[in-house]
Chain A
Amino acid sequence: GDSVTQMEGPVTLSEEAFLTINCTYTATGYPSLFWYVQYPGEGLQLLLKATKADDKGSNKGFEATYRKETTSFHLEKGSVQVSDSAVYFCALIDSWGKLQFGAGTQVVVTP
């Protein structure tokens, strides 16, 4: 079935460093892809999304491009802040219309 694989964490960075979180997917067809963020003690929030190949989603300085040829949707941010410390989930909508999540990647940004 459809699935999402993302890099394991924790990822520890210094403030202003460049962040990349790798995400690849397996799916029939071309699913919509999402990044969700979970701040400590909170539920998940949609960070960005892309609905077709070559779409770029962006929000709060984060970007991810839907790459059909590599079945990837890597999340990037050029200069992270301490407030970006969170768990990031890559997800897709599968052929049954349900969200499938990756395992999550914890990001820790130190001052």
Chain B
Amino acid sequence: NAGVTQTPKFQVLKTGQSMTLQCAQDMNHEYMSWYRQDPGMGLRLIHYSVGAGITDQGEVPNGYNVSRSTTEDFPLRLLSAAPSQTSVYFCASSYGTSGGPTYEQYFGPGTRLTVT
């Protein structure tokens, strides 16, 4: 198993550009989520999905879109990048229930994004 994979590892964008961060898992996990990690703030939930075709907002969803067309993939789209979106982005997945993740979450290696 590859686990949770993320691409790219590093990205530099100019303000106003758009891009998609890719996330894939091969563990047949129902639950997938995106977090951003900023110094001194821990990880904050951006969006999550409890299964294919079902997504919902987390704590900091503004400026980001997601979709879940397959169980394996959960891409995160930045619509119009802003310097405030400079961060490290982590994708995670787990077996879940309808209430959210109740099992161990497996994290990808992260994408370091800089917006200038």
Contact = CB atoms under 8 A, between A and B. Distances in A.
Main secondary structure of the interface of B (DSSP, over half): strand
A89 B109 CA distance: 16
Interface in B1-54: 4, 33, 40-45, 48
B108 interface: yes
A102 B41 CA distance: 7
Interface stretch (B70-78, B79-87, B93-101): B93-101
B40 A43 contact: no
Looking at A41, A42, A96, A101, the one whose CB has the most chain B CB atoms below 10 A away is A101
A43 B90 contact: yes
Given A42-B109, A43-B4, A43-B108, A98 B90 contact: no
Contact of B101 (A4, A41, A89, A93): A93
A103 B40 CA distance: 5
A43 B107 contact: yes
A11 to B, nearest CB: 15
Contact of B43 (A32, A49, A89, A93): A89
21 contacts: A4-B42, A32-B102, A43-B107, A43-B108, A43-B109, A43-B110, A44-B43, A45-B107, A46-B104, A89-B42, A89-B43, A96-B100, A97-B96, A97-B99, A97-B100, A98-B48, A98-B100, A101-B42, A102-B42, A103-B40, A103-B42
